[in-house]
Amino acid sequence: MSKRDYYEVLGLSKSASSEEIKNAYRKAAMKYHPDRNPGDKKAEENFKEVNEAYEVLSEDSKRSQYDQYGHAGMGNNGGFGGGFSGGGFDDIFSDIFDMFGGGGNSSARRNAPQRGANLKISIHLSFEEAVFGVERDIKINRNEECGKCHGTGAKDVGDVKTCDKCDGAGQVRVNQKTPFGIMQSIRTCDKCNGEGKIIKNPCSNCGGRGLEKKVRKININIPSGVDNGSILPLRGEGEPGVNGGPRGDLLVYISADDHPFLVRENNNVYSEIPITFVQATLGDEIDIPSLDEKSKTIKQVKFAIPEGTQPNHTFKLKGKGVNNPNGYGKGDQYIKVKMEVPTNLNEEQRDLLRKFADVTGSEVHEHNKSFWKKVKDYFN
């Protein structure tokens, strides 16, 4: 039998908002949940269908794919990968308990291992440090294991007792009377606040947290090619986890100086080099600033200007740009030549230029009419 349209399953239009989808799902799931319809195969099938529809429509990327391709774009099992897994009422409806004052799934699992929070730090680099990479020592202020109680949070080891109300689970089951009947939910244990343990005499240094703030020095290698706005993640250097969970990360935000002669755009570098009329005409060898990978500095290197170079011509030096920080090759260097016109010539210099013009067949009008005078004469 072909699948019904997911919007039809939830009784919605295709323009439904995320909140409307969530509310429709709650209403339909309440109606068809197996715990409220024991032995009703039809209700169980409807419940699977509702969950499958919600799994797709509640996630933007899946919803977009479904809107474009229908069921054909969701794989063989639709969006829910086979439907209801057969767990208890609280496994799927953790957020529904919130409507009736329940703790929900997140609070119920408070004593489960949790990953630590991420930390952020900003580092400013010189142009050269960003281009070539640099090794830096940084200092961060983060939570570490308390040096006095060694993380137990108690004055003595014997002061830590398992909570007798939840038996160390950190959560208790509560029966609630609701408009839909008696429902069972899971709440955080109010005696141990979800910790699963009770500390009789807290550590005087950390107040029972098991943690204290410490300044930590970290050596980091900043790779070549980072730029303004780059973020360098240092895994496991953030805040400690809870209940044995892993540490968070340290996110290093990069900013960098500009350079007086080189302009960087992603992995390419650009420069403008002034040359004279004679250099452009006859060619010349000039010094230009360029990245030197070996010395990790910007050096003056020789560059040959070809004979007959035109004003504003741009030369490309392949592979002379910045390393891609992800290891995908290097950028290029672009050199744009700017023609410098001589001023304040003496009479001898003027005479030489007139002779040059005669030889090349160029007309020289030293007292040309102004542009606007020419325009006026043209229209008259």
Q: Is residue 375 situated within a structural domain?
A: yes
Q: Is residue 95 situated within a structural domain?
A: no
CATH number of the domain to which 14 belongs: 1.10.287.110
Q: Are strands 119-125 and 250-256 parallel, antiparallel or unpaired?
A: parallel
Known binder of ligand: residue 347?
no
252 and 263 share one domain: no
Domain C-terminal end among 234, 256, 278 = 256
Distance separating alpha carbons of residues 306 and 37, to the nearest angstrom:
87
206 and 246 share one domain: yes
Known binder of ligand: residue 163?
yes
Could you give the percent of the chain with pLDDT greater than 90? Answer: 32
Known binder of ligand: residue 138?
no
23 and 146 share one domain: no
Cross-strand partners of 142: 214
Inter-residue contact 283 to 305 (CB < 8 Å): yes
248 and 290 share one domain: no
251 and 127 share one domain: yes
Known binder of ligand: residue 156?
no
* Domain count for the chain: 3
Closest CA to 324 of 81, 131, 151: 131
What does the pLDDT look like over 285-318, one tens digit per residue?
989 999 998 898 998 999 999 999 998 999 999 9
Q: Is residue 109 situated within a structural domain?
A: no
Known binder of ligand: residue 113?
no
268 and 220 share one domain: no
CATH number of the domain to which 288 belongs: 2.60.260.20
Known binder of ligand: residue 155?
no
Could you give the percent of the chain with pLDDT greater than 70? Answer: 82
Known binder of ligand: residue 153?
no
Amino acid at 119: L
Known binder of ligand: residue 135?
no
Whether residue 119 is predicted with pLDDT greater than 80 in this model: the reply is: yes
Sign of torsion over alpha carbons 65, 69, 70, 71: negative
Q: Which two tokens stand for residue 106?
A: 């997140």
What does the pLDDT look like over 152-193, one tens digit per residue?
888 888 888 888 888 888 888 887 776 666 777 788 888 888
- Note down the domain range covering 333: 258-380
Whether residue 210 is predicted with pLDDT greater than 80 in this model: the reply is: yes
Inter-residue contact 129 to 156 (CB < 8 Å): no
Distance separating alpha carbons of residues 250 and 248, to the nearest angstrom:
7
123 and 243 share one domain: yes
Domain C-terminal end among 256, 275, 293 = 256
173 and 220 share one domain: yes
Given this model, what pLDDT does residue 375 score? 62
Q: Is residue 19 situated within a structural domain?
A: yes
Q: Is residue 377 situated within a structural domain?
A: yes
